[in-house]
A and B are shown apart, each in its own frame.
Chain A
Amino acid sequence: MATLIDAQGLRKRYGDIQALDGASFRVETGRIVGLIGPNGAGKTTALKAVLGLARCEGSLKVLGLDPYRDRDQLTEQVSFIADVAVLPRWLRVEQAVDFVAGVHPRFRRERCEAFLERTAIRRGSRIRELSKGMITQLHLALVMAIDARLLVLDEPTLGLDILSRKQFYDSLLSDYMDAERTILVTTHQVEEVENILTDLLFIDRGRIVLDLPMDDIPARYAQLLAAPGQVEAARALKPLSERQLLGRNVFLYEDADPAALAALGEVRQPSIADLFVAKLRGAAA
């Protein structure tokens, strides 16, 4: 598997804020990687570094190139949706399609048209006349018709209703993703991307605190609903976190012995959200 992004020790300061503080990670071709972190953790800064929009200290290679210095060479291979609301409001739908077709050598117009056929978007409309969901559909139609190696999505579904959010990820998986493509996505709505990600990157205060393929979660992390009377025993196994849920104590463990946990109560696979809370609380302690 080829390494698409290789970041080592990324650092970036904005005034008093250390946005990136030695973040290191790799992204392999064909993966869908979720970059997840609390507000101000450095998610957007990391994406901007990858896109060559911000200069960072440290070593960063995207497709073997320095994204800041060689940005003009990378823009054909790397597409991104920064935010659903960034399409220029004065532009008409047909103009948007014409323009991208005109300037992007890897844009496949028929794919874009086919996608738009399935929406209610009228070609003559200006973007300001479209609903937020439609703007996202249009943006996605434009981006999905580009044969890019890497697609970067920064909070792509922010402000969308549940239906549009679901449609967004459905189209991304069914119409876009294949073995040659790679997606790097940040979002706060972790439960939405839970089922589409292949890899997790947790970022907190400018550092990567967890870098894990989704497939490894069951083997490495377990959530225990402790049976009454087993709470002290459960604490003795050094959980990452402990919380109360409907009067029961819930523990989350990293690399614990499954047999030992099974003896103490009900064992489940933690959700990304549970894992996120546990890991970040751990990092904060």
Chain B
Amino acid sequence: MNKFQWLVRRELWEARAVWVAPAICAAILVGGTLLAAFGMGTVSVDGLGPEQLTRLHEQMTAEHVEGIAAVALGGIAFPFYILVLFTQFFYAIDSLYGERRDRAILFWKSLPVSDAETVLSKLWVAAVVMPVVAAAAALATQLVVFAIAAAKLAPLDLPQLHLWAPSLWGNTLLVMGYGLIAGMLWYLPLVGWALLVSAWAPRSPLMYASLPPLAVGLAEYIVFHSHHALAVVGERVGNLGLLGHAFASHAKGGGFGIVMTAEHLEVPRSLVETMRPAAFFGSAEVWIGVAVGAAFVAAAIWVRRSRDEAA
């Protein structure tokens, strides 16, 4: 193993949230599925009686079923993608502050590891390892949940039901992989900011991380009565900004949504149709964000390097 791999390994020894958080999320989803499949009696759909359901069932094609399955898989993956937003931010904001708080920084600095190598290893864990682990956990959960569903539905003998269709899983992997990479780029400024504040804050980095954007937003409101700064930050922080840029969430049929009434059934053929890679990777906003993130990371390296711990 080379030095960088050891540094990443050290982070994984310390930050168990990297895998504990997705594991808990997976456990909840699988537990919920088991409960729904075998614990409770029947599944009912609001507003639709047995007759209407039967009619729906009759007009359902294999394509419809695949669309519904794709939305279900997306629904399983979604909480993992939301969760990783929190874990990577809290990991990054504690990483460089934590080593100062417990004074272990003096031990780390006694070893031949540069400040750049240290900060980049933490960036790698927050920006790449955590999302990849979360996506892998999402995939594992999808497989388990579908296996449970297959076991539950097997006695019903539904000919249209192809839970393991290669097209379904291929498209799902494509969407998840695209979402993963888009998320890494989109959230880089957030992770970089967290690392910078973590390297610099004299105490409570979380407070120092939130104050400047709030102060800028307040100043802008007082002076111009506008709130562009907060809008920019808000778009980065939540997941709506990413979804809006990387996916066409308002495509026909509500994008990710399924329209199901007694007379009408509309499902997206696949979530791949909602991907907007050309717009996303061609967007200035994305690359400006990446540049800002890189600048924050460079600043974090500089702060860790030049910070003179008080005697």
Interface string of A79-118 (1 = CB under 8 A from B): 1111101111111100100111011110000000000000
The answer to whether B13 touches A105, judged by C-beta atoms less than 8 angstroms apart, is no
Interface status of A55 (Cβ within 8 A of chain B): yes
The answer to whether A75 touches B104, judged by C-beta atoms less than 8 angstroms apart, is no
The answer to whether B113 touches A75, judged by C-beta atoms less than 8 angstroms apart, is yes
Closest CB in chain A relative to B94 CB, distance in Å: 12
The answer to whether B309 touches A53, judged by C-beta atoms less than 8 angstroms apart, is yes
Interface status of B109 (Cβ within 8 A of chain A): yes
Interface status of B7 (Cβ within 8 A of chain A): yes
The answer to whether A83 touches B103, judged by C-beta atoms less than 8 angstroms apart, is yes
Residues of A within 8 A of B108 (CB): 88
The answer to whether B311 touches A19, judged by C-beta atoms less than 8 angstroms apart, is yes
If A45-B311, A72-B114, A104-B111 touch, whether A91 touches B13 (CB-CB below 8 Å) is yes
Interface status of A76 (Cβ within 8 A of chain B): yes
Q: How many of A's residues come within 8 Å of B, CB to CB?
A: 34
Contact of A76 among B107, B112, B309 (CB under 8 A): B112
Interface status of B14 (Cβ within 8 A of chain A): yes
Interface string of A185-210 (1 = CB under 8 A from B): 00000000000000000000000000
Closest CB in chain A relative to B199 CB, distance in Å: 15
Interface status of B99 (Cβ within 8 A of chain A): yes
Contact of A86 among B7, B106, B308, B311 (CB under 8 A): B106
Residues of B within 8 A of A72 (CB): 112, 114
Interface string of B74-100 (1 = CB under 8 A from A): 000000000000000000000000010
The answer to whether B14 touches A90, judged by C-beta atoms less than 8 angstroms apart, is yes
Residues of B within 8 A of A81 (CB): 110
Interface status of B10 (Cβ within 8 A of chain A): yes
If A19-B311, A88-B104 touch, whether A103 touches B13 (CB-CB below 8 Å) is no
Contact of B7 among A19, A83, A103 (CB under 8 A): A103
The answer to whether A103 touches B310, judged by C-beta atoms less than 8 angstroms apart, is no
Closest CB in chain A relative to B78 CB, distance in Å: 32
Closest CB in chain A relative to B133 CB, distance in Å: 19
The answer to whether A86 touches B111, judged by C-beta atoms less than 8 angstroms apart, is no
Interface set of A (CB-CB < 8 Å, partner B): 14, 19, 44-45, 48, 53-55, 72, 75-76, 79-83, 85-92, 95, 98-100, 102-105, 139, 143
Interface set of B (CB-CB < 8 Å, partner A): 1, 3, 5-7, 9-10, 13-14, 99, 102-114, 306, 308-311
